[in-house]
Amino acid sequence: MLVLDLRQDTDNLSGRLRYKVSQFPDGQQSIDIIAQDPTDFYDVSKFFKDGVEIRSRMNSFKDVELIVCANQALKNLGVKKIELYVPYFLGARSDRKFSIGSVNYIKDVIAPIINLQGFDKVTVVDPHSDVLEACLQNFSKSGNIDLVRSSLQKYWMMTGQIISDMSKVVYVSPDAGALKKVYSVNDSFKSNQDVLVCSKYRDIDGKLSKTLVPLTDDVLDKDLFIVDDICDGGGTFLNIAKAIKENENFTGKIYLIVSHGIFSRGFDDLKNSFEHIFTTNSISNEEVENFVTRLDVFK
């Protein structure tokens, strides 16, 4: 299957299928599909016989616009099979109406646009909500197991421990909503300790007032791995780290594994709380030396 990679920070001239993005004065974008060898388009049915996978970060509505343009351009060329690969799905957390007069962003806005494109498959990595799966046609989910495996391998190398030694590893679920996901990780990479499940308490205005991490004596010298799907500003994880470090007997280190690292507030506070962060390049390729490692999910 040919790949059309719409990420703007990559060299789109390296594959057999290239493209050129046009930007008009009013903000409109369009796309031209270009073959590396112009003769490829002489026999379209042969050139595209296995179909095309469109890849995108889908971090903004402009990315959605390019996806739609690319899909329609491919259809105009006669491509019969087109799949979409978007590791991070725009608006994944807006899976319900948050107030009267608002919209369910996934159900009412983004999913209908993507569904109208008629993709043969739409693959998302570690989606935030089951609502996305229910709303998208031909949905395919890729989990976070490869990320966790890569993270553990990097952890063992960084700390000089024996590969596959789980004796110091303890998984932390940031809340009950992530519990199923974290237990799935624990089933794949068994820790010697049970999963720690955090509890969040809010005041009458809905603001987070307290975070409880049930540390027991047998985990105080272990390394704790918080596992979740998205880190935006990082407030939830910073509160968890703070609660852990308030226990003066805790001597381990705290790591964060998140499938999608937005990091909208930068890394200064995170550096003070975590030993290392493991994520993917679903949002960007940015790494922070000796602090943030990104797994390539576009290979």
- The overall pTM is greater than 0.85: yes
Q: Which residues contact 39 (CB under 8 A, 6 or more apart)?
A: none
pLDDT in tens, 244-298: 999 999 999 999 999 999 999 999 999 999 999 999 999 998 888 889 999 999 9
Residue given tokens 């491509």 in the structure block: 79
pLDDT in tens, 164-176: 899 999 999 998 8
Query: What backbone phi and psi angles, to 5 degrees, belong to 184?
Result: -65, -40
Distance set, CA 294 to CA 92, 117, 188, 257, 277 (Å): 20, 30, 21, 10, 9
pLDDT in tens, 40-99: 787 888 888 999 999 999 999 999 999 999 999 999 999 999 999 999 999 888 888 788
DSSP state of 35: E
Query: Is residue 15 predicted with pLDDT exceeding 70?
Result: no
pLDDT at position 215: 93
pLDDT at position 52: 95
**What is the percent of the chain with per-residue pLDDT over 70, rounded to a whole number?**
95
Structure tokens, 156: 């063992």
Give burial (CB, 10 Å; 0-12/13-18/19+) of 296: exposed
CA distance 87 to 137: 16
CA distance 270 to 299: 28
CB 145 within 8 A of CB 185: yes
pLDDT in tens, 126-142: 998 889 999 999 999 99
pLDDT band at 24 (very low <50, low <70, confident <90, very high): very high
More confident residue, 67 or 101: 67
Domains of the chain: residue spans and CATH? 2-142 (3.40.50.2020), 145-295 (3.40.50.2020)
DSSP string, 52-69: EEEE----SHHHHHHHHH
3-state helix, strand, coil in the chain (%, to 5): 30, 25, 45
Query: What backbone phi and psi angles, to 5 degrees, belong to 158?
Result: -65, -40
CA distance 263 to 288: 11
H and E: helices and strands count for the chain: 8, 15
pLDDT at position 230: 95
Query: Is residue 209 predicted with pLDDT exceeding 70?
Result: no
pLDDT band at 189 (very low <50, low <70, confident <90, very high): very high
